[in-house]
Structure 1
């Protein structure tokens, strides 16, 4: 089955300017996603969807393809990932190329490795799933959360007040790194998170949401720890 890796990297970023190409532990952060995808050897095409010429040149320098720039209508704050994936698949089909499997990879996910992509890709190909998503357990049980109302603190789920944390069902959230999907099914549903979805559980130390500079610094510390541990 033919496969394409689509790295989504628009130019605009308000909270961290030029976030997708900001230096992270010695190189542009997008380089980690590109190198992991190429190094995995499981993709027929590794491309970057961007509206930005500088990002395009950096992506090309690290070996990705940028056969076209993202349309203006999908370059704003409200464009969805699904919209971008549809545009990429449509543009490739116009050029006579289609793919059975897609993998949407975020450009600010330096914890992605070639081995992780190979493992996920193998698991996905051997399944009948519509998509595969890396997930990470919540570090604290959401069932024991509080809410604030009228300046008072209350349990959101009082039924779990006396339940031990270890007795609560483990819950997970999206790791925000990559998504494998079958292109035919995606075209029908338009959604990567619904349908027959299988998980890939990843360690909390290999996940970091990067929304501000403090997040960035934490991510660099985590990355250095992971690099020391694994030798990447």
Structure 2
């Protein structure tokens, strides 16, 4: 398959200023995603979609290409990742007459993405029955036993699970926030990354971390040190 890696990295991060090029253990965090994609040898092209000149220069310094800047319509807080991917695929077809059988959307703040994970996802995607691959993480506690708060009182979200043992409740998973690997034809038809034929790659909590604030950043660095014996 012909494949493209798309790393969406706009410049307007608010909770962590300049988040996509902030240094993570010695180098810009976006570099980890770029290097994993390049090392995997899964891709004909590793590109960064950005509206920011500084991010573009950092991306190119680590081996990615930035063939065009993102439009204003996909550079604000409300633009979805799917919209960014659609724009990239469309611009490649219009500007370069190039299309790809599959793409991987790799987040720029995902230092736990590895070439091995991308290769594993690619191997699943070569099967005709698979439309997309997504790495997921299991919830540490059964979500069916979770609570909600209404009028300052605590209630079960699913009362029917109240008396069921935790080990008897099916495990639940959430998106690891690292990457999606998707067949382009499926995405063009459905406009989504999660399809009726999505294969999971299950990660443990040590190998994933959502980074939304400074505390998350510090936890991610701690995990990365443990994994890599730094």
TM interval, short-chain normalised = over 0.9
Q: Counterpart in 2 of 1:185?
A: 186
Worse-superposed segment, 149-158 or 7-16: 149-158
Distance 1:82 1:57 in 2: 24
CA distance in 2 between partners of 1:145 and 1:123 (Å): 33
Q: Within 2, Cα distance between the matches of 1:12 and 1:127?
A: 39
Question: Which residue matches 2:38?
Answer: 38
Query: Structure 1 length normalisation: TM-score?
Result: 0.96
Alpha-carbon separation, structure 1, partners of 2:48 and 2:116: 20
Structure 2: unaligned runs, 5 residues or longer = none
The 1-side partners of 2:155 and 2:70 are apart by 46
- For 2:210, what is the secondary structure of its paired residue? coil
Aligned length, in residue pairs: 229
SS in structure 1 of the partner of residue 4 of structure 2: strand
Matched, 1:51 2:36: no
1:148-187 map, 5 Å: 148-187=149-188
Deviation (angstroms), 1:89: 0.5
Cα deviations by residue, 1:97-122 (Å, 9 ceiling, x for unpaired)? 11001000000000001111111111
Aligned to 1:72: 72
2:63 matched to which residue of 1? 63
Which residue in the other structure is 2:218 paired with? Answer: 217
C-alpha RMSD of matched pairs (Å)? 1.1
Q: Which residue of 2 aligns with 1:140?
A: 141
CA distance in 1, matches of 2:16, 2:108: 13
Which residue of structure 1 aligns with residue 114 of structure 2?
113
**Any idea what the Cα deviations from partners look like across 1:1-57, whole Å, max 9, x if unmatched?**
100000000000010000000000110000000000000011110000000000000
Deviation (angstroms), 1:127 = 4.7
Give the deviation of 1:126 after TM superposition: 2.8
Q: Does 1:8 align with 2:12?
A: no
Q: Does 1:124 align with 2:125?
A: yes
Provide the rounded CA distance (Å) in 2 between the counterparts of 1:127 and 1:218. 39
Q: Which runs of 4+ in 1 moved over 4 A?
A: none
Give 1:206's aligned residue: 207
* Contact in 1 for aligned 2:124/2:130 (Cα 8 Å): no
TM-score for both structures, normalised by structure 2: 0.97
CA distance in 2, matches of 1:203, 1:156: 25
